[in-house]
Amino acid sequence: MASHQHNQGVEVPRNFRLLEELEEGQKGGGDGHISWGLEDDNDMQLIGWTGMIIGPAKSPYENRMYSLRIECGSKYPAHPPTVRFVTKLNMTGINPQTGVVEPKSIPVLNRWQRSYTIKTVLTELRRLMTEKVNNKLTQPPEGTSFPCS
């Protein structure tokens, strides 16, 4: 994973960092299984993002597309983004009423590092979909959504 710190202790400003992430998302940097981009192209603060995960094979999420909302607050990347599934699913670490990803339950958010990116979060969520604990969970009908918050 590329480091976003150029010289020792010199941090890339938030907007430059997010513009790099936007460019990677626009170029399809998610290997076909994940994608991300700005929710509104006019969002000059680069706060509201959308994400998409295609459920991994041999999991209860297989062949389903999951939409997410990602918010990169003013303290990002020093602090993790807030992440919420829009598409309804049953998964450990996801609030069953709201779809909010519970940071304490997701290692990459709980032990956030400045070098992590939106791609890191989406990749980790997709990996967690394959964990045994999620195999026994009944999934809601395809295409259902959590209530808007």
Name the residue among 37, 32, 36, 146 with its Cα closest to residue 94. 146
Tell me the per-residue pLDDT of 40-55, one tens digit each, with 9 for 90 and over: 999 999 999 999 999 9
pLDDT value of residue 10? 74
Residue in this structure with the two tokens 């983004």, named with its chain if needed: 81
Residue 21 has pLDDT above 60, yes or no: yes
pLDDT tens digits for 75-133? Answer: 999 999 999 999 999 999 999 999 999 999 999 999 999 999 999 999 999 999 999 99
Tokens of 70: 């990602």
- Identify the band that residue 31 occupies on the pLDDT scale cut at 50, 70 and 90: confident
Q: Supply the pTM of this predicted model.
A: 0.91
The overall longest dimension of the chain from CA atoms, in Å, is 50
pLDDT for 8: 55
Answer whether residue 64 shows pLDDT above 90.
Answer: yes
Distance CA 145, CA 11 (A): 38
